Structure 1
Amino acid sequence: SGGMRQRIVIAIALSCQPKILICDEPTTALDVTIQALIIRLIKDLQRDLGFTTVYITHDLGVVANVAERVAVLYAGQIVEIGTVEEIFYDPRHPYTWALLSSLPQLTEKDSDLFSIPGTPPSLYNKIVGDAFAPRNQYAMAIDLVEEPPMFRVSDTHWAKTWLLDPRAPKTEAPKNIQNLHEKMARIYAATDFEE
């Protein structure tokens, strides 16, 4: 089974007693019950053996339940980094907004699932400006010509978007991800990733 294969791969990875365990999509193609078992296994082993775990995943539900810090990547670059609370409850980059908006669990009944328009850029070509600009409904003229720096939101939270420049017009996160903490609490209350 998929869950058994995951356990075997984890055992092999931990056989050399690493200080860091990198889990690339550890719960993909597993049902929710097996996902919870695998995540619980990793957390138990992490606690018992004292290693750090780095998750690489598109499953934001897993991220919300296991991460302490989150880095959001787009086109091979970190576009936002912060604590899990900052990323989920106070996201600042339009790509992070789009990712959170595309959570199927946040879609209202009888409405279309949000999808990010356009296609990701080819990494074979030099990207000019902000890599997300062609797909970003909040893009400004500067986004098309100059790559934004990382702007400090707090000591632990940074985002790479011109929207955080003091000269930028005030822009709020989309309504569907505001009060996300309440929505996420309801959605994942039934999923037991805890010890």
Structure 2
Amino acid sequence: MTVAAQTGFVSRLFPALAEASLRRYLSGQVASVLGSWTQNVTLNLLVYHLSGSAAIRALLYFLLYGPQLIVAPIAGSQISSANAKRATLWVLTASLVLTASLFTLSLLGALGVKLMLAHALAIGVSSAVETPARQVLLLTFGMYGMAYNGTMPFGYLLVGTASEALGVRHTFAVMAVVLASGAIAVIAWQRFTNQRAGAQ
């Protein structure tokens, strides 16, 4: 099958993907969500390794996902198509800062359970802000579920492979690269849509 035939098939299956800027943006979002899954699994592995406690793992999951119950509805009421890209970019930037902090603390040997739990809360709050923003951007094209759920198994695979090859703590560096690609895609799509709006 030629590249043109493959592109035609994908465009018929997902008409929104006919636009190159959207394909780039969706690729970045898939990478970003992959980074989120990678981060959550890495934190889970490290917390369990350091604590050996199922209760602390449960607390970790509560801190990662609990803010969705309170923060996401509040953020969702404030996010519209006009500010969703900006909100997503800010969250990706915050995620990169948190990831860099986790990586640096782990390299210094200062990353303990309490610091990981504090980071998990910050990650949970930022994810709760990002969820409605990502939905506004991707639901428009009917692709939110694909980007979110389709990357989950790859996140686990990436963590398993990277942690075996590099060590669990270095998985944070892999995650930073993945999150950065998501931020680059948001910036590129924002520039493209701004140029397009200016041309009209």
Decide which structure has greater helix share: 2
Query: Taking structure 2 as the reference length, what is the TM-score of the superposition?
Result: 0.26
Query: Taking structure 1 as the reference length, what is the TM-score of the superposition?
Result: 0.26
Decide which structure has greater strand share: 1
